[in-house]
Amino acid sequence: MHDDRTLVEARLRRVLDERIRPAVYPESVPLQVAVWHAPGEPVPVEEGLAAEAQPIEIGARWGAPWGTSWFRVTGTVPEAWAGKTVEALLDLGFDENMPGFQCEGLVYRPDGTPVKGLNPRNQWVRIGAPVAGGDEVALHIEAASNPVILDYHPFQPTRLGDKDTAGHEPQYILTRMDLAVFDEPVWQLVVDLEVLGELMAELPVDSARRHDILRAVERALDAVDLQDVNGTAERARAELTGVLAAPAVPSAHRISAVGHAHIDSAWLWPLRETVRKVARTTSNMTALIEDEPEFVFAMSQAQQWAWVKEHRPEVWARVKKAVAEGRFVPAGGMWVESDTNMPGSEAMARQFVHGKRFFLDEFGVENQEAWLPDTFGFAAGLPQIIRAAGSKWLLTQKISWSQTNKFPHHTFHWEGIDGTRIFTHFPPVDTYNCSMKGSEIAHAARNFKDKGRARHSLAPTGWGDGGGGTTREMVAKAARLRDLEGSATVAWETPRAFFEKAEAEYPEPPVWVGELYLELHRATLTSQAKTKQGNRRSEHLLREAELWSATAAVRAGFPYPYEELDRIWKTVLLHQFHDILPGSSIAWVHREARATYERIAGELDEIIAAAQRALAGEGHRHLVFNSAPHGRNGVPAGGAGAARRPQGTRLAPRAAGGHVLDNGLLRVEIDARGLVVSAHDLDADRETIAPGRAANLLQLHPDFPNMWDAWDVDSFYRNTVTDLTDAESVEAGEDGASVRIVRSFGASRVTQVLSLPSGERRLLIDTEVDWHETEKFLKLAFPLDLHAERYASETQFGHAFRPTHTNTSWEAAKFEACNHRFVHLAEPGWGVAVVNDSTYGHDVTRTVRSHGDRGTTTTVRVSLLRAPRFPDPETDQGVHRFRHALVPGASIADAVREGWRINLPERRLTGAREVAPLVTVDNDAIVITAVKLADDGSGDVVVRFHEAHGGRARATLTAGFEVTEVTATDLLERPLSDAGAPERDGDRITVRLRPFELTTLRLRR
């Protein structure tokens, strides 16, 4: 038999494109269109509906960047269409390749009832099925003219990312506003042929199944009269019945399809636009649920649900109804799909507290899964946080984006730093925007790495990023793929149903230990420095506000600010979304973030000041409030009192030029270039800086990644480096105990102050950068005389180790990594910490010296600033301030303590009395991360703590008030069913923790 396969396949493509798809709508009439352009920001629905609209013609331009236009479309269904299915086709000027990334609309009836959302892949609105004929049609469209930021030639700098710079030129052309007859048999034929054509292309060329499909398709195409597609569609479908009815083989891969619309809470659009994107998408999905009885849709991010409830109550009513039916599923149990590398311990915990509590309060739903398809890697502390929140599963997809190494599993146990394991799944479909294409389904089955032991995977199905969700075409394809020979099987299921099946069939999956590092998007640890500083500062201010408010409530009857703290926490958690905190959003988002952080800092400072004043009373005693979890200068952790004044620091000239700082613990030599050439630990008689090298060295690299400018830094950036060694001035500070250095480079200027606090073994480095570079990467280097094959970096509720070498491709790929407050390196008996108040990105490298002692130089470099031009062309331009400290002779305990110290500076005020801590612990290995009143308003005191040094710890926790009951709880402050009663002797509680174990206790008073 002659091989005519390519002939038939080419015929199928052309007939579908040019004859069958156009016949889905065989008849149409134009609608009348009028428009009102809202001035400025979006207006309430009732105002948009009532506005006076002016006629507009098809082909007219509309839509200034970030504008809102209210279209009114009216018309009459022709009498001749009686008994037919009629839809409105509303094309605002869509590009079908950009769902979620351009103009969108929400359709309303004249009474304000939402109908459904419009996007490039969803342009229809059902008018009637059937219609009577002569029906009057009136619809309103709230159309958002969001500009295209990520265009066909991506990553080009654009001013469209902020309404203040985007201009006013209309961007879109009104393309079609028609009433049309919808021919369902033709539409069904299109789906039949698409499913079979896509499946056929994935089957082996020599397989019998492929040729069976080929011949059936050929017969169907022969049955179609190209001059009368509508009259012959049923006849053509009949030719496909047999191949569509052939069942899948018993060993077929099984896919749980979950309707989904991954909506970035901000990215290439501002937060206010996400509110509307969510309303459009949820309107679409509730409408689809009504039309498709088997369809199930899952939506994560409690914040997005809260937006619908607050801003679109009419949509919220439909959502609640669908949730009650079990068809619209709250997923993930987090406030937003946050970054998980940079949020601090408590913030990561509160993501689950606020997310899960919202779904429990609104729907009585307890989420068991964390749902993070697009997050840029996962910190090693996350598993126990998920478990402590009462969840047990994790889904993500982004690790499939890794550039260097292919992750070896799709279903596995992920083990965190404390030994907690979480059942985890990476969908092998390799997208969180699955559209049910045959190529996607076949890829999932081929790609699944756990064949032979498991055969279930999940496919998040629907247009996402900018929203839109699942379409009726996707649902129709899934129906045909339910049980189809040659394909994986597909069934709509909830995330819970998938995980229960997957876990049951794979009770002993492989184990991955440690962080899930994404070998991509490493620069998100540095981009938009002020957003990151705002997050860090907010986290620590919230700690202080809760600590002092709880202490004042117990001791002085201070009114605990429940509502204010709840609101502020949710604001901080929102800004930890995985395109805000990582610095990968448009300029508008980060401009607003900076203002928001400044506002909430003011609010928190007021709460802290009021609580401390209530505690201290009115008086003239000089008091120091210590919010850190360790005592310092004689003031206990969580208390206030008079601080000791240790011996001062001496500043002297250096013989070879420069200055020497000496406080009896450290002697630091700063040369005439303002570089640290010696940091001598006097007690250990040990030099910190590698021979012939200098620390406090600012280094500048070119920074132009191959793509994803704000997200990525590629390894070749290291090929070129400029050491910034020239100094305009190096002089003694005005306090006589510091050195001030000024440098200029390019269009930028750096001022640093190096100081050695009295009685402390740490060199403080305050850096101010007036930054005006473009596509550059600024680092601060510390070459250390230290031999270490691994180093520790702080993460949530502990620290994780990474190698300093690059033996394998996995290690080489980690050339930029995340830490929280410290990085620590050590040889047995002696170590060094580098601590910070606001930076996250860093790198650690090692080399063996070829001359002299042939020792090892291990270099820690802190990432300070970048200057990408997309999506914000002005990224990080302006003045930035950073504080770091070099801590020679530091143990891991010192690193933990100094990390907290630099982030929680003392607060000083005058008052009448000292303040005893509300809670104390007698072992520094146990760090209290939160002291607060219980969220339920009971007045109970909640204390959260963890083992921070990486070993087992026993301690006595003492309450500074009368305790009547102690209960171990989960993060939501609910009693743990499998935890015994803590050992208690009055107000003293004995605690025993394994390495890095997280514990929450609720103390009734």
List alpha helices for 743-855, DSSP H.
Answer: 809-812
DSSP-assigned states of every residue in 353-406 = HHHHHHHHHHH-----EEE-TT-S-B-TTHHHHHHHTT--EEE--GGGG-SS--
Under 8 Å between Cβ of 186 and 233: yes
Contact between 696 and 659 (Cβ < 8 Å) = no
Tell whether the torsion through CA atoms of 693, 694, 695 and 701 is positive or negative.
negative
Contacts of 1 (CB under 8 A, 6+ apart): none
Q: What residues contact residue 508 under an 8 Å CB cut-off, 6+ apart? A: none
Quote the CA–CA distance of 96 and 627 in Å, as a whole number.
Answer: 54
Helix 5-15 to helix 184-202 angle (10° resolution) is: 150
Sign of the alpha-carbon dihedral angle for 212, 215, 217, 223: negative
**What is each CA distance from 307 to 337, 568, 838, in whole angstroms?**
15, 16, 30
Helix (H, G, I), strand (E, B) or coil at 52: coil
65 preceded by cis ω (within 30°)?
no
Count of other CB atoms within 10 angstroms of residue 851:
7
Say if CB 123 and CB 110 are below 8 A apart: no
Task: Compute the distance between CA of residue 765 and CA of residue 754 in angstroms, rounded to an integer.
Answer: 5
736 dihedral zone (left: phi>0; alpha: psi -120 to 50; beta): left
Could you give the CA distance from residue 398 to residue 584 in angstroms, rounded to a whole number? 15
Residue by residue, DSSP assigns 874-940 as: TTT-EEEEEEEEEEET--HHHHHHHHHHHHS--EEEEESS-B--SEEES-TTEEEEEEEE-TTSS--
DSSP string, 634-655: TBPTT-EEPPP-----EEEE-T
Nearest to 524 by CA among 483, 477, 472, 580: 580
In this structure, the number of other CB atoms found within 10 A of the CB of residue 394 comes to 22
Determine how many CB atoms are found less than 10 A away from the CB of residue 244: 15
**Pair of tokens at residue 825:** 């390196």
For the chain, how many residues are written? 1005
Among residues 264, 374, 450, 712, which one is catalytic? Answer: 374
Q: Is 374 a catalytic residue?
A: yes
Contact 826, 873 (CB under 8 A): no
562-574 and 529-556 helices, crossing angle to 10°: 160
Nearest to 876 by CA among 459, 621, 533: 533
For residue 140, what are the β-bridge partners? 72, 108
**Separation CA 695–CA 859 (nearest Å):** 9
**Quick one: which H or E segment has residue 196?**
helix 184-202
Note whether 353 and 971 are within 8 A (CB): yes
Q: Which of 518, 519, 537 is nearest to 575 (CA)?
A: 537
Contacts of 206 (CB under 8 A, 6+ apart): none
| Element at 622 (helix H, strand E) | strand 621-625
**Spatial strand order in the sheet of 798-803:** 729-732, 738-745, 748-755, 763-771, 878-888, 830-836, 822-827, 790-795, 798-803
Residues identified as active-site: 374
